[in-house]
Amino acid sequence: MANSIQREVGTPNIYTHQMESDVSKPIARPDGNWPRPGSAPEDHNPAIEALVSDIIGKVADKWTMLILETLQEKGTLRFMQLGKAVGTISQKMLTQTVRQMEEDGLVSRTVYPVIPPRVEYALTSLGESLSAAFCGVWLWAETHHTEIQRARQAFAAARRDRLDADGAR
């Protein structure tokens, strides 16, 4: 594990970290200099880069995030329980999303041979680790909620002022 490299996204900049058993710390380049924040490693792996882009594209959608949160909070759920807990999701979208999450190893699907069939969904350890990563986003949003609201209000006011000025001409 000491040779694997992970890109950690937690700020606007991307930093390269070497992962050890339970500790991650920045690693210096062979010349002794530290990587510049936001810079890609010189020996970056295009396959890893493609995987990261693919995973972000799949998990950063509304339904995946809500399903992750629901399973993290409530544990193993049957299909209909999961749909009700998530909220306004259609059965088709729930089916598509949990299938994609199962394919990516984020959820396990257990089918019991009973009549009527019983199917349960639970987070895998991989899904739990992704849920923990998204917890950081939740905490960030909670911490900066007021600032974001102020910025949005200022933007909307400035836009209205521009539109009013353009209309007055």
Segment 29-63, tens digit of pLDDT: 455 554 555 555 566 788 888 888 887 887 778 89
Total tally of structural domains belonging to the chain: 2
pLDDT(19) > 50: no
More confident position, 48 or 128: 128
Q: Classify burial at 89, counting beta carbons within 10 Å of its beta carbon; exposed 0-12, middle 13-18, buried 19 or more.
A: buried
Provide mean pLDDT across the span 16-29: 38
Distances 102 to 1, 22, 78, 160 between C-alpha atoms, Å: 25, 26, 14, 45
Q: Is residue 148 part of a domain?
A: no
Q: What is the pLDDT of residue 102?
A: 96
Q: What is the pLDDT of residue 39?
A: 55
Residues 69 and 104 in one domain: yes
Residues 63 and 117 in one domain: yes
pLDDT(153) > 60: yes
Q: Is residue 86 part of a domain?
A: yes
Confidence of residue 139 (pLDDT cuts 50, 70, 90): confident
Confidence of residue 20 (pLDDT cuts 50, 70, 90): very low
pLDDT tens for 154-168 read 999 999 988 888 876
pLDDT tens for 67-109 read 999 999 999 999 999 999 999 999 999 999 999 999 999 999 9
Provide mean pLDDT across the span 6-29: 37
Q: Is residue 88 part of a domain?
A: yes
Q: What is the pLDDT of residue 119?
A: 94
Residue that finishes a domain, picked among 125, 143, 158: 125
Q: What is the pLDDT of residue 141?
A: 87
Q: Is residue 133 part of a domain?
A: no
Residues 63 and 34 in one domain: no
Domain around 12: 5-44
Provide mean pLDDT across the span 8-27: 36
Q: Is residue 163 part of a domain?
A: no
The per-residue DSSP string of the chain comes to -TT-EEEEESSSSEEEEEE-SS-EEE---TTSPPPPTTPPPTT--HHHHHHHHHHHHHHTSHHHHHHHHHHHHH-SEEHHHHHHHH-S--HHHHHHHHHHHHHTTSEEEEEE-SSS-EEEEEE-HHHHHHHHHHHHHHHHHHHHHHHHHHHHHHHHHHHHHHHHHHHH-
